[in-house]
Structure 1
Amino acid sequence: MNTRKLLIILSAVIMLLSMMLAGCTSGRKDSGSTPSGETDEQAVEASQKEVEVSFPLVEKLNLKMVGVPHGNVKKDYNEMSLFQQLEKDTNVHVDWNLITSDGAREKINLMFATNDLPDAFFGPETTSSVTADKTQQLIPLNDLIDKYAPNFSKILEENEGLRDRITNQDGNIYSLPMMEDNVAETIPSAMFINKKWLDELGLALPTTTDEFYNVLQAFKDGDPNKNGKSDEIPFSFLVSHGIQGPDSLALSFGGRLPSGHMYLEDGKVVYAPIQDNNKDYYMWLNKLYREKLIDQEIFTHNADVYKAKVSGETVGAFFAWTENWAFTKDNPDYVPLLPLKGPNGQQGWNNQINQVNREAFSITVANEHPEATLAWADQFYSEEISIGATNGTVGVVLKKEGDKYVYNPIPEGMDSIAFRFDNAPGYYAPRWISQERFRKVEFNTNLQEKVNLVDMYKPYTKDVSFTYPTLSLEDEERVKQWGTDVSAKNAFYEKSLAKIVMGDTPEKALEDMVAGLKKLGADEITAIYQKYLDQ
């Protein structure tokens, strides 16, 4: 190749490289100017310009969300009038992935592990702020709340300390909360007994644990339903259930087993199952079970089977939210029972305080429209949609009269629960029901009964409720593992309880349970909570 040709080739290469470099430089954000003459500062300011969100959106926005519906929900959310109206008002369409509570945590953890994320998680217990801190898969909502959530911002202003309660240890908010300051929620459980059977056998309402034992024996042996068969179930419940479980009766024996098993006593955090004062209660359950006075399926039947037994009127005594829950109407054959006095004259009933659930709505990094998504979620914090999501869609289940919300007639062939949950998600939604909002809603039959039951049991309660604090990442991880071992996947407590209640050596089984819970870290967990309480 001659020198002239080589120079031509080299010149062409140099020119080409110069053009490429110029093009790259002119397109870089850190250059001194842009092709349009815009400075770096102007470009950054433009990129940070606030996105405007005005509903209904001009163009339909499609989002993917994961939700865990309440057990009473039988429909897809998009078939509910509340979500249909919300889509009409906002022009936001949601493709729902609704997963049942059984195994929900495992499925959601897999989504995070594989980074197969929806745009948002809807409802309580769907996400964890710890995950956001460790993997940055949830976006901080702090600035977005101030700009795109006027309803929730107003709630923050009106509720001192709420911002701190929903803020993570790193200073960020990753989830919108939900709260229902509902007097009906303060005493979840009530005990009912078959008055018709008592009358048939000539027995009075029992007032002590001894009298109750005698009644159960009569229910078992006396054929109170008069069908000539030994098919009566004297006493049934759901094990370790805060509403349909029997643990309020621990107070009759000097013990205490509140829902969640943590409580405060003289400023100290106490984990109930390892306390000596619950031994007599556990032994009493064993006695009733072994004498077949307790439903022999308490450790195997589920909520649907339990309700079928109760509503079929084959059960003598049971626990429930209300009688209306069991029979969908007033049933004069069953009456509520006051707390029983134990061997030493003690009696009491479990209660709880209404707590803020920090995890009710979270947005993931997969979401390309976080501003509009948060503005959509903010609708649930308005008075009308909060009330509608909780009690049934306004305009369908409820109607507004002045500043009150009253119930429309229930369609023929439906009950109040089906009417409500066919139209709205109920408890498992981001929402805010203050006492003021709660009292604006007409009390339906079920709620009025519940308020009456709260008034009946309240004199027998003692406020020992434990407010769960915001934990550090390390402590949160430890508490989560404890929950997995004891209550969730591994269910050590319930498995141990089965051995105590059903076994031939209940005292040994109780000793083993206490030792096992301590080995799993019961004292460590209470110390973690105590640390934050002391702070």
Structure 2
Amino acid sequence: MIKHTKKFNRYTAVFIITVLFTTTLAACSGQQTDLTKQTDPDQPLTKLTYWVDLFPDAAAIMKSYGEVTAWKEIQAKTGVEVEFQHPAQGQLGEQFNLMVASNKLPDVVDYGWNAYPGGAQKAIRDKKLVPLNDYLEYAPNLKKLLEDNPQWRKMASTDNGDIIGFPFIREDVTQQVFLGPAIRQDWLDKLNLDTPTTIDEWYTVLKAFKEQDPNGNGKADEIPILMPAGELAFAGAFGTPNDFFQDNGTVKYGPIEPGYKEYLTTMNQWYKEGLLDKDFATNDAKMTDAKITGDQVGSAVLFLNGGIGKYMDLMAKSQPDFQIVGTPYPTLNPGEKPVFGHMDNPVTDIFAAITGSNQNVIGTVKFLDYLYSEEGKRIMNFGKEGETYTLVDGTPMYTDVILKNPDGLPISQAFRKHIMGATSGPFVQDVRHTEQYTTKPQQKEAMALWSDTTQVKRMPPVSISVEDSSRYSSIMTDINTFKDEMVLKFIMGSESLDNFDNYVEMLKGLGIEEAIQIQQSALERYNNR
């Protein structure tokens, strides 16, 4: 455990006294469930309460996930009524904290439990959630998945080996990529340029976009590249992501590494030469949409569906030649394989966890495990047979209720209305869903290109210990504020890169070395799970 200051220990003592007092009150009230293992496998489950965030675009067309075709079918198949409870839009974290402060919780809470103060292990210690280890015999489908994929089990567990809850699992690596570098292929074709793969090649292409009027309007209004500061897609080429990474088991912090200075030097050059969007520090979604659909942007870092797919659809009628495609993550030298890239873990950090208030843990385990069966997986990903999908040679294929919705819903909202495969939840996301969602050849090619990274220096989903969580949070709040401010200054030239070493020393003074050590301890605990 990392040693802290006397001041921090004093705060810790006050916190412990407060927790003991709260625990005593809870015991006296009799509201907190005893987490002794429940042993009645025959207790019927007819209803459960389920707390989960309602995705914003789902909230635009429904009041509850209970309206989703897939969930209706699950309830019909199992005979279990699910009462969904959704926090108010934009208040997820606040309402989660208020909820867990009480002694009466919904039966299931679907949330990123490592965001609980002190992490999921602390939530277990506080008897807010029930680890699944003692109940896996009642979850044969999930049990087999975790046995066949030990890395998935590590990601679904605390450092103590407690299984947090029922996870959302992406079964194929192509489902784990969602964001990456993209470029206007029609501009490349017009200027007889090849797809750039190195930083030098990118510079050549961006200069051409700036100087050769690829949008053909006779104005020098092109924005060669649009991306935020610290973007991994380009910082990674210099061997330094904008966060922690590990190098052969040793944790490092990218923004203090020498390679990060090289990255900032390159971005400063691109900014000075008008290659990087002058508004890179303030762009929001609305501004980005306007610039891309206004035929100004030559390249950007885009989402697969909410970027490439979205803009191809938006521009199809007004500009039929518009074509935006994914590119490989850039490297410094030709022929190198990219190390870093945007990629989710196969097991996300959101778990449908059984709470300490649940009076029928075994029944709930059985119900949630059904979602990992072949039938449950198919329903969650494809909905109701004969309505939202049909089987073609054994493969579920979406009907026009999804693909050409009769109510005029775009495919993204048709998915939200009828299935959970495009959202998340306690089930395995079927790769066949992804293949039918990302239908454009540009999207499929981008998935393949963005998946082609080694990821050997990527940090796994570690957990900060209960003892270190407050100190770590305090350090990183100051670190991120200062780092983000200085990165903007370095790129825009208001701070000379000659002062990079002073910037590193300032970060050390703010505690980055202690934060690295906390992350190192977390990595070692993760590896020992």
Q: Which residue of 2 aligns with 1:111?
A: 99
Are 2:246 and 1:255 aligned?
no
Deviation string, structure 1 residues 226-266 (Cα, Å, up to 9, x no partner): 345554332112455xxxxx4232344x33317xx333323
Q: Which residue of 2 aligns with 1:494?
A: 484
- Secondary structure (helix, strand or coil) at the match of 2:298 reads strand
8 Å CA contact 1:62, 1:93 repeated in 2: yes
Structure 1 position 131, deviation (Å): 3.8
Question: CA separation of 1:383/1:479 partners in 2, compared to 1, >3 Å: closer, same or farther?
Answer: farther
Out of 97, 100, 104, the position equivalent to 2:86 is 97
Structure 1 position 444, deviation (Å): 4.8
Q: Which amino acid aligns with 1:232?
A: E
Q: Which residue of 2 aligns with 1:83?
A: 71
- Secondary structure (helix, strand or coil) at the match of 1:474 reads coil
Out of 43, 52, 60, the position equivalent to 1:66 is 52
Per mean C-alpha deviation after superposition, the further-off stretch among 297-306 and 445-454 is: 445-454
Question: CA separation of 1:335/1:365 partners in 2, compared to 1, >3 Å: closer, same or farther?
Answer: closer
Structure 1 position 504, deviation (Å): 1.6
Structure 1 position 317, deviation (Å): 0.7
Q: Which residue of 2 aligns with 1:41?
A: none
Are 2:168 and 1:178 aligned?
yes
Q: Which amino acid aligns with 2:260?
A: N
8 Å CA contact 2:185, 2:323 repeated in 1: yes
Alpha-carbon distance between aligned partners in 1 of 2:229 and 2:439, rounded to the nearest angstrom: 24
Which structure is larger by alpha-carbon Rg, 1 or 2?
1
Q: Which amino acid aligns with 1:94?
A: E
8 Å CA contact 2:339, 2:457 repeated in 1: no
Are 2:418 and 1:418 aligned?
no
Superposition pairs for residues 30-41 of structure 1, below 5 Å? none
- Secondary structure (helix, strand or coil) at the match of 1:528 reads helix
Q: Which residue of 1 aligns with 2:309?
A: 324
Alpha-carbon distance between aligned partners in 2 of 1:187 and 1:91, rounded to the nearest angstrom: 34
Alpha-carbon distance between aligned partners in 2 of 1:88 and 1:132, rounded to the nearest angstrom: 32
Alpha-carbon distance between aligned partners in 2 of 1:354 and 1:430, rounded to the nearest angstrom: 15
Q: Which residue of 1 aligns with 2:271?
A: 289
Alpha-carbon distance between aligned partners in 2 of 1:73 and 1:239, rounded to the nearest angstrom: 31
Q: Which amino acid aligns with 2:99?
A: M
Question: CA separation of 1:399/1:296 partners in 2, compared to 1, >3 Å: closer, same or farther?
Answer: farther
8 Å CA contact 2:337, 2:454 repeated in 1: no
Are 2:157 and 1:135 aligned?
no
Structure 1 residues without counterparts, runs of 5 or longer: 1-46, 241-245
Superposition pairs for residues 458-473 of structure 1, below 5 Å? 461=454, 463-469=456-462, 472-473=465-466
8 Å CA contact 1:73, 1:421 repeated in 2: no
Q: Which residue of 1 aligns with 2:347?
A: 356
- Secondary structure (helix, strand or coil) at the match of 1:94 reads strand
Name the Cα RMSD after superposition. 3.9
Superposition pairs for residues 265-414 of structure 1, below 5 Å? 265-303=247-285, 305-307=287-289, 309-322=291-304, 323-328=308-313, 333-340=323-330, 342=332, 348=338, 350-351=340-341, 352=343, 354-357=345-348, 359-389=350-380, 391-395=381-385, 396-409=387-400, 410-412=403-405, 413-414=408-409
Deviation string, structure 1 residues 120-145 (Cα, Å, up to 9, x no partner): 32144565414414532223443344
Question: CA separation of 1:216/1:266 partners in 2, compared to 1, >3 Å: closer, same or farther?
Answer: same
Superposition pairs for residues 509-528 of structure 1, below 5 Å? 510-511=500-501, 513-528=503-518
Deviation string, structure 1 residues 321-359 (Cα, Å, up to 9, x no partner): 433253248875334434546489977352457443354
Alpha-carbon distance between aligned partners in 1 of 2:489 and 2:404, rounded to the nearest angstrom: 47
- Secondary structure (helix, strand or coil) at the match of 2:98 reads helix
Identity %: 25
Alpha-carbon distance between aligned partners in 2 of 1:377 and 1:498, rounded to the nearest angstrom: 46
Question: CA separation of 1:88/1:448 partners in 2, compared to 1, >3 Å: closer, same or farther?
Answer: farther
8 Å CA contact 1:406, 1:442 repeated in 2: no
Question: CA separation of 1:466/1:208 partners in 2, compared to 1, >3 Å: closer, same or farther?
Answer: closer
Alpha-carbon distance between aligned partners in 1 of 2:59 and 2:294, rounded to the nearest angstrom: 22
Structure 2 residues without counterparts, runs of 5 or longer: 1-36
Per mean C-alpha deviation after superposition, the further-off stretch among 81-90 and 453-462 is: 453-462
Alpha-carbon distance between aligned partners in 2 of 1:93 and 1:353, rounded to the nearest angstrom: 29
8 Å CA contact 1:168, 1:470 repeated in 2: yes
8 Å CA contact 1:179, 1:355 repeated in 2: yes
Question: CA separation of 1:397/1:106 partners in 2, compared to 1, >3 Å: closer, same or farther?
Answer: same
8 Å CA contact 1:192, 1:317 repeated in 2: yes
- Secondary structure (helix, strand or coil) at the match of 1:422 reads helix
Structure 1 position 50, deviation (Å): 0.7
Q: Which amino acid aligns with 1:320?
A: L
Structure 1 position 372, deviation (Å): 4.0
Alpha-carbon distance between aligned partners in 2 of 1:282 and 1:110, rounded to the nearest angstrom: 41
Alpha-carbon distance between aligned partners in 2 of 1:514 and 1:115, rounded to the nearest angstrom: 45
Q: Which residue of 2 aligns with 1:209?
A: 199
8 Å CA contact 1:233, 1:294 repeated in 2: yes
Structure 1 position 210, deviation (Å): 4.2
Structure 1 position 461, deviation (Å): 4.1
* More relative contact order, 1 or 2 (CA 8 Å, 6+ apart): 2
Superposition pairs for residues 114-193 of structure 1, below 5 Å? 117-124=105-112, 127=116, 128-147=119-138, 149-160=139-150, 166-169=156-159, 172-185=162-175, 187-193=177-183
Q: Which amino acid aligns with 2:445?
A: N
Question: What is the TM-score with the length of structure 1 in the denominator?
Answer: 0.72
Q: Which amino acid aligns with 2:415?
A: R
Question: CA separation of 1:50/1:134 partners in 2, compared to 1, >3 Å: closer, same or farther?
Answer: closer
Q: Which amino acid aligns with 2:427?
A: R
Q: Which amino acid aligns with 1:195?
A: Q
Question: CA separation of 1:515/1:136 partners in 2, compared to 1, >3 Å: closer, same or farther?
Answer: farther
Alpha-carbon distance between aligned partners in 2 of 1:344 and 1:130, rounded to the nearest angstrom: 45
8 Å CA contact 2:43, 2:360 repeated in 1: no
Question: What is the TM-score with the length of structure 2 in the denominator?
Answer: 0.73
